[in-house]
Amino acid sequence: MDVDGVAILARGIAARGPEGIIFADLDLRVEPGALAVVAGPSGTGRTSLLLALSGRLPLITGHLDVSGHVLPAQAKAVRQLIRPARLRPGYELEAKHRVREAIVERRLISGVSERSIDAALDKVRIAPDRTALIDELHPAERLLLAVALTVAAEPAGILVDDVDAGLPTSGRAQVWAGLREVARTGMTVLASATDPPSGDVDVIPLPARGPDRPTKVLDLQEEVTR
Amino acid sequence: MKAFKLAWLEVRRFRGPLRRFVPLVLVLVPLLYGSLYLWSNWDPYGRLNRVPVAVVNSDQPVDSRGEHINAGEQFVQQLKATDIFDWNFADSAEARHGLQEGRYYFTIEVPSDFSTKLATAADRSPERASLQIVKNDANGYIAGIMADTVQTELQNQINAAAHATYARALYGELDQARGKLQLASEASKQLVEGTDLSKQGTAALSKGLNGVRDGTGEVSRGVQSISDATAQLDQQLRTISNFTAERLPGAVNTLVNASNVAVNSLSTIKATTGFLSQRAAEGRAAIEELGQKHSEIAQDSAYQRALDNARKLADSAAAAEKDAQQALKTAQDANGQALALQNNVGPLQNQIRAITAPADTLRAGAAELAGGSNGITNGLNTLAASSGVLETGAGQLNDGAKNLLGLVDDTLGKIPPTNPTEVANAADVLGSPTEIHTENLNPANVYGRGLAPFFFAIALWVFGLFAYLLLKPVNLRALADRVGPFTIAFAGFLPAAVLSVLGGSCCTRWSTSGSGSTRCTFGGRSGW
């Protein structure tokens, strides 16, 4: 497995959600084949940043270039390059499917072969029981299964949200190890976590906002002063 | 209070640009559902004139008792005048086809014997005409109920048409009966006239008999007069020789007259001859005087001849006067004799009259006799004529009576029977001359079964609401991957579709087995 990963260059990007500004004036650079981790506490806009970087959330300002594709004009091409493995909430494996069914579903929607899936499972070093319910898998194994199913199609980049949520320390280590293996193939891995792992990762720190989250008020004040 | 606060906190939960409208939307749900449902059911019979209904008129007009009965066409015209439903006038096959296909909600068919049956109104046993209404509950049970509700009105309309037909038929019958009665009345008149004639005949007969009696009396009197006159005639027969003297007075008078005329004529002649003689003397004197005065003339021969002639003329005139004198005298004598003769005729005449009186009586008696016999003849003639009139009158009387009887019998035959059973039947039919047979291609029989399609639709709509509370309409994993949106949408639709088919089938199976019916009015259609 050898993949040309995506390179991401962002200058002064900002995005707005229903609750107001999510992030603003953000600069970042991700090299191909890197394991980049958006680090910060939950609710700070980690998922939104991952979506924005993969062309799934429109920016209100700034420059974003993904492997030569300039967003938002070429967002569709970028979405094809970067596939989500897990996004919370919304994009997760169906808890009541069996592993076998999840694999069948992925073969249907991605058109990948059984072999590619087996290879991807080997890559992340798991061998789940095909008859087990997704719900019954260990959280780390469940996440790695989702990663493997996405990797099987060999996209240029993958999104893995909330890597350390609900995982014990041993589980975290296992997941990070699996993600490193994926990044080693050349695939760019964009992950988010509360605590970034030590070692060989690009950490993208999010500007910590205050606990009262005054963005909306500021936003309104901005509009008034404008 | 705690409960109220907790309740308020639940409402406060809906913050955000869209979420805050959630309670408002909830408030509007009953309005939306109620108004839509009520609006659709507000006045289900309000737009009946847009409900298509097929009308088939197969009626064959008939001519009965001089009346042209075309009740089917009349019915159609009545329908056209109203707009209860959206009438479509079609043939039988088209109507049946349209009913099966749902183009018509029901059909009204006028059978071919409609007019024929109505025409039996004046018969002894009238038949009830019928109409056929065919419904199809598979097209909507409500429409069938509407057909039922207007059936009374339809029946009234049809009955009105039928009653009009009846009235015409009955008036035709009345007209005929009136004609017959008129004939009967004429026959009665003839009968009366016949009676009159026979009365007249009787009167004439009695009059004739009186005439005969009178004539007979006159005859006997005349015979008496004749015998009397004959007796008198015998007595006066000896003076019959003088009977001819009757003519004498006339002859004598004539003679007197003639001698008078002769005397008068001779008088005139004597006067003339006198005058002539005088003139001739005067002429001779004038010539002689001329000769004396003129002696030269006296010597002339011509004068001599004239004088000579004048003297001869004067002499002749004197002689003629003398002769006339003589003749007048003779005539006057004759006249005197004639007058004497006339005076003698009077006594002679009286004698002759005494003879002629009995003869006059005889003639009168004979005349009376003749008159009497004439009277008898006339009386007998009148009698004979009267007998003839009497006979004719009696004959006419009989004919008139026979005519009257025939007419009355004939008219009696035309009048409907008075058999109580038949009268009851006829009254029943005439009171409600038509009946409406209803048929149903797919009878629902009961209200619930009729409304089942409607409630099945609601049931499946509720299914749709619940289905997508529980089913995921979109597979987000597929959406993030290389799968077409149509495929994703179809995949999200299929589970609900299959389940709704199953759910609808369950519902249908339950309802059909529950009502024990044989036909399923609603298949597994899905309600989205």
User: Token pair for residue B100?
Assistant: 């099966």
Confidence at residue B356, expressed as pLDDT on a 0 to 100 scale: 64
Would the CB atoms of B480 and A105 count as touching at under 8 Å?
no
How far apart are the C-alpha atoms of A135 and A152, rounded to whole Å? Answer: 21
pLDDT band at B238 (very low <50, low <70, confident <90, very high): low
Q: CB neighbours of B452 closer than 8 A, spacing ≥ 6?
A: B444, B511, B521, B522
Q: What's the confidence (pLDDT) of residue B352?
A: 61
**Higher-confidence position of A90 and A207:** A90
Is B16 in contact with A84 (Cβ distance < 8 A)? no
Encoding tokens for residue A204? 């993208």
Structure confidence by residue, pLDDT tens digits, B94-104: 999 999 988 99
Q: How does the average pLDDT of chain B come out, rounded? A: 78
Interface test with B, best of A57, A82, A86, A108 (most B CBs within 10 A): A108
Share of chain B above pLDDT 90, in %: 8
All residues at 6 or more sequence positions from B346 whose CB lies less than 8 Å from its CB, including other chains: B249
What is residue B243's predicted lDDT score, i.e. its pLDDT? 47
Of residues B16, B476, B478, nearest to A90 (C-beta):
B476
CB A185 within 8 A of CB A123: yes
Rounded Cα distance between B493 and B339, Å, is: 177
Phi, psi of A9, deg, nearest 5: -130, 120
Confidence of residue B236 (pLDDT cuts 50, 70, 90): low
- Nearest CA-CA partner of A53 in A22, A19, A89: A22
Residue B176 confidence (pLDDT) above 80: no
The mean per-residue pLDDT over the stretch B474-495 comes to 89
From B178-182, B445-449, B492-496, B512-516, the region with the lowest mean pLDDT: B512-516
Interface of A with B in 131-160 (CB under 8 A): 153
Q: Who among A90, A93, A111 is closest to B482 (CB)? A: A111
Distance in angstroms (rounded) separating the CA atoms of residues B473 and B485: 12
Cα separation, B115 vs B119, in Å, equals 6
What pLDDT, on a 0 to 100 scale, did the predictor assign at position B520? 43
Q: Above 90 in pLDDT, residue B220? A: no
Chain B residue closest in CA terms to A79: B480
Closest among A120, A183, A180, A171 to A147, alpha carbons compared = A120
**What pLDDT is recorded for position B242?**
54
> Residue B404 pLDDT > 80, yes or no?
no
How far off is chain B from A52, nearest CA to CA, in Å?
14
Do B482 and A84 make contact, defined as CB atoms within 8 angstroms? no
pLDDT digits (tens, 9 = 90+) for B357-368: 666 666 676 677
Q: What is the mean pLDDT of residues B188-203?
A: 72
CA angle A20, A24, A27 (to 5 degrees): 155
Phi, psi at A221, each rounded to 5°: -60, -40
| CB B492, CB B475: distance < 8 Å | yes
* Chain A residue with the nearest C-alpha to that of B474: A90
Q: How far is it, in rounded angstroms, from Cα B164 to Cα A22?
A: 89
C-alpha to C-alpha distance for B339 and B335, rounded to whole angstroms: 6
Q: The tokens of B339 are what? A: 């007058």
Mean pLDDT value of segment B402-419: 71
- The pLDDT of residue B521: 45
Q: Kindly report the nearest CA distance between residue B477 and chain A, in angstroms.
A: 6
Q: Tens of pLDDT along A33-51?
A: 889 998 888 878 888 899 9
- Output the CA angle B239-B242-B246, nearest 5 degrees: 125
CA separation for the pair B525, B456 (Å, rounded)? 9
State yes or no: pLDDT of B347 exceeds 60: yes
Please identify which residue in the block is written with the tokens 């008159």: B371
pLDDT of residue A220: 40
pLDDT of residue B519: 45
Closest to B524 in 3D by CA, of B514, B507, B516:
B507
SS3 letters across chain A: CCCCCCCEEEEEEEEEECCEEEEEEEEEEECCCCEEEEECCCCCCHHHHHHHHCCCCCCCEEEEEECCEEECCCHHHHHHHEEEEEECCCECCCCCCEHHHHHHHHHHHHCCCHHHHHHHHHHCCCCCCCCCEHHHCCHHHHHHHHHHHHHCCCCCEEEECCCCCCCCHHHHHHHHHHHHHHHHCCCEEEEEECCCCCCCCEEEECCCCCCCCCHHHHHHHHHHHC
Average pLDDT over every residue of A68-85: 88
Owner of token pair 């048929």: B439
What does B48-89 look like in DSSP terms, one character per residue? GGGSEEEEEE----EEETTEEE-HHHHHHHHHHH--SSEEEE
Q: Is A199 left (phi over 0), alpha (psi -120 to 50) or beta?
A: left
Highest mean pLDDT among A77-91, B59-73, B173-187: A77-91
pLDDT band at B125 (very low <50, low <70, confident <90, very high): confident
Question: Which of B13-22, B121-130, B245-254 has maximum average pLDDT?
Answer: B13-22
Least confident of A18-22, A136-140, B123-127, B358-362: B358-362
Q: Specify the pTM.
A: 0.52
Answer whether residue B528 shows pLDDT above 50. Answer: no
B370 C-beta neighbours (distance < 10 Å), count:
13
